[in-house]
Amino acid sequence: MIKSLEIKDYALIEHIQIEFFPGLNIITGETGAGKSILIDAMGLLLGDRASSEIVRKGATKSFVEGIFDVSDNTKVKSILDENEIDFQNELIIRREISQKGNNRCFVNDSPVSLNVIKELGDILVDLHGQHEHQSLLRTETHIDFLDNYSNNQSILKEYQIVYSKIKSKEKELKDLLAKEQSIKEKREIYQFQLNEIESVNPQPYEDENINNELNILENSEKLLQLSEEIYNLLYESDNSVLDQLAEVKNKLSQLIKIDSSLSELESEFDSVSISLKEISSSIRKYRNQISIEPEEVEAKRERLNSINLLKKKYGLSIENVLAYKEKISKEIALAENFSDEINKIKKEIFLLKETLYEIANKLSTNRKKNSSKVESEVKSVLKNLGINSPSFEIRFSAVESDDFFEKDKSKIGYNIKGIDNVEFFISTNPGEDLKPLIKVASGGEISRIMLALKTALAKNDKLPLLVFDEIDTGISGRVAQKVGQALLDLAKYHQIIAITHLPQIAAFAEHHFVVEKIQSDDRSVSQIKYLSEEERIFEIAKLLSGEQVTQTSLESARQLINSK
């Protein structure tokens, strides 16, 4: 729902800020006061196109901002996620239109395109009047309204999951058929490449291991020399480290005999001697293992060259070479079993289509079963709203599509919503042929038709805010009272904002606003005011009797409010 609306420097509006409430919000005011300007400004928040002509004279830009409560609204969250905008429980939409014609759009203070604003507007508000946001006047939405009424959400989701799987499999088949000739042409090349890789048969990280081994083998003479020198210094040579330690040990023993306080040094010295003996023994074993094998070095060099050649041809690393090997192996296997693979995918598509057809029939049956209920409810409400002999039909037609089921030698088209096209037809006058809803008259009549449809679909319609402009055009006081009651009933399921000139409708308001035009600095300015209970009575009395409010009209206003 919309929580607040702020408008600045828009046509006759200098600056207003309105706080709206859940339930039925009624706006009244004299003709020309600016009620329609208010609705036009709201239309900007829904993605309507804007002209620089709406910028108030003397201002550089117009500003319209709406704050919406979107807590738990997953559709809004999805759109924000797609556009990398943080989701919050309050959604702030802002439009700025400059005198130069520049148009800036913001969502939660992030700049966005007009299309994003329009996307959000389409799922937040249904605006009925001389505006584009009339979802029921878009034929493609009729099936959605019927599905909402029929509680088809779960079965439709099941249908669309299978539909997506079919689309994925069909793309897989299309891609496979497209590459058939290419694979057959490349088969010999792939086979040659596979043989080349398999003849070397490189193993993961083998090149790194060979490089490490070659580093040792190519330096074996140096390793032998160094290990020999270390062993001689520690053990083998005259005056070796261990010989000198033996002499030190002898002298240390003599010291200890004289001064026993040095006895702890003897065990530490023994530990050092043992460590050095172990080191010299390890060096001797290492020295004895070193062998200079030119043939082994050469063999490893040749092996490394073969691996490096594969890396150069097929991907810079052994991992890439092996990945390429796997890829061309699959391509060769595919070329050898192409028909089998195609038949396998075709069979999968056939089985998925069988499942989809069953679900599509369930959907269609449920829609047709509920369509008669909607027809009856809409006609009943239209009669209450002063259209005496209404006719309303939900017509089904076959889907025309390149996607189809083949049943009993006929083709049944389908799309992402099933096998049905759904369109609403209506006639509001006796003897008049039914016409598509999108071709009916505009103004108050279309608003009442919308109200009837919304009333019938109210419990399952997901749009949080409905706005009705000029809903009372051409109706009598008796019918107006029924329109007011219908709006109040609808407000149990949606937030409603309705503009009216009739006291019988205004009396049903749960929250009442009045738009007034005043003179400020020799200029006309539109303002809006939230009315207290007493002010409501006075405003409705004005609607009843005109500017000259009498005690009788005040009493009549009270009776209207109390009789709802």
Whether residues 112 and 172 fall in one domain: no
> Is 153 in the same domain as 246?
no
Structure token pair of residue 152: 């088809």
Q: Taking CA 393 as the corner, what is the angle to CA 391 and CA 396, rounded to the nearest 5 degrees?
A: 165
- What's the pLDDT at 131? 47
Answer whether 560's CB lies under 8 Å from 507's CB: yes
| Statement to judge: residues 351 and 436 lie in one domain | yes
Q: Specify if 65 maps to a domain.
A: yes
- Rounded alpha-carbon distances, angstroms, from residue 340 to 170, 182, 274, 331, 502: 16, 17, 73, 14, 74
Q: What is the spatial distance between Cα 219 and Cα 33, in angstroms, rounded to a whole number?
A: 98
Residue 546 falls inside a structural domain: no
Determine the pLDDT at residue 132. Answer: 46
Whether 357 is covered by a domain: the verdict is: yes
Domain contains 448: no
- My answer on whether 229 and 171 are in the same domain is no
Residues 126, 145 within the same domain: no
Q: What angle do CA 303, 305, 306 make, to 5 degrees?
A: 65
Q: Read off φ and ψ for residue 507, nearest 5 degrees.
A: -65, -20
Verify that 284 and 246 share a domain, yes or no. yes
| 61-69, strands of its sheet edge to edge | 110-112, 103-107, 90-98, 61-69, 2-10, 13-19, 523-530, 511-520, 24-29, 495-499, 465-468, 125-128
Q: How many CB atoms lie within 10 A of CB 517?
A: 15
Contact, 382 vs 444, CB < 8 A? no
Q: Which residue among 380, 412, 441 closes a domain?
A: 441
What pLDDT shows up at residue 133? 53
Q: Alpha-carbon torsion 381, 383, 387, 391, what sign?
A: positive
N-terminal to C-terminal alpha carbon distance within the chain: 24
* Structural domain total, the chain: 3
**What DSSP assignment string belongs to 186-219?**
HHHHHHHHHHHHHHH---TTHHHHHHHHHHHHTT
Cα 321 off chain centre by: 38
What's the CA gap between 502 and 182, in Å, rounded?
74
Local confidence pLDDT in tens for the 564 residues of the chain: 999 999 999 988 889 999 999 999 999 988 777 787 888 888 888 888 888 888 988 888 999 999 999 998 888 999 999 999 999 999 999 999 998 878 899 999 999 999 999 999 888 988 776 544 566 778 888 998 899 889 898 999 999 999 999 999 999 898 888 777 777 777 778 889 889 888 988 888 888 888 887 777 766 767 777 888 888 888 888 788 888 888 888 888 888 888 788 788 888 888 888 888 888 888 888 877 776 677 777 888 888 898 888 888 887 889 888 998 988 888 888 777 777 888 899 999 999 999 999 999 999 999 999 999 999 999 988 888 878 888 999 999 999 999 999 988 889 999 999 999 999 999 888 888 898 987 875 555 666 777 888 888 776 677 789 888 877 777 777 788 888 998 999 999 899 999 998 999 999 999 999 998 887 777 778 889 999 999 999 999 999 887 788 899 999 999 999 887
Residue 332 belongs to some domain of the structure: no
Would you say residue 212 lies in a domain? yes
Does residue 139 share a domain with residue 122? no
Using CA atoms, how far apart are residues 9 and 44, in angstroms rounded to an integer?
A: 14
Residue 290's Cβ-count burial label (10 Å; 0-12, 13-18, 19+) is: middle
As beta bridge partners, residue 27 has 499, 513
Q: What is the DSSP letter of 87?
A: -
Domain span at residue 371 reads 135-182+338-441
Q: Which two tokens stand for residue 116?
A: 């994003």
Cα-based distances in Å from 217 to 289, 293, 305, 524: 12, 8, 16, 98
Angle at alpha carbon of residue 298, lines to 294 and 300, rounded to 5°: 120
400, 488: one domain: no
In a domain, 214, yes or no: yes
Beta bridge partners of 395: 423
Please tell me the predicted confidence (pLDDT) of residue 134: 64
- Find the Cα–Cα–Cα–Cα dihedral 11, 17, 23, 27, rounded to 10°: -40
Measured between alpha carbons, how far is residue 185 from residues 182, 198, 343 in Å?
A: 5, 21, 21
If asked whether residues 6 and 69 sit together in one domain, one would say yes
Other beta carbons less than 10 A from residue 364's beta carbon: 15
Pairing status of strand 495-499 against strand 24-29: parallel
At residue 370's C-alpha, the angle toward residues 364 and 372, to 5°, is: 115
The token pair at 451 is 């109200």
Question: Which pLDDT value is given to residue 442?
Answer: 52
Phi then psi dihedrals of residue 148, to 5 deg: -60, -45
Closest CA to 378 of 25, 122, 142, 153: 142
Give the CATH number for residue 37: 3.40.50.300
Is 32 within a domain? yes
Do 39 and 56 share a domain, yes or no?
yes
399 and 504 housed in the same domain? no
Q: Are residues 121 and 143 located together in one domain of the fold? A: no
Q: Tell me the three state secondary structure of residue 483.
A: helix
Secondary structure element (H or E) that encloses residue 371, with its range: helix 338-384
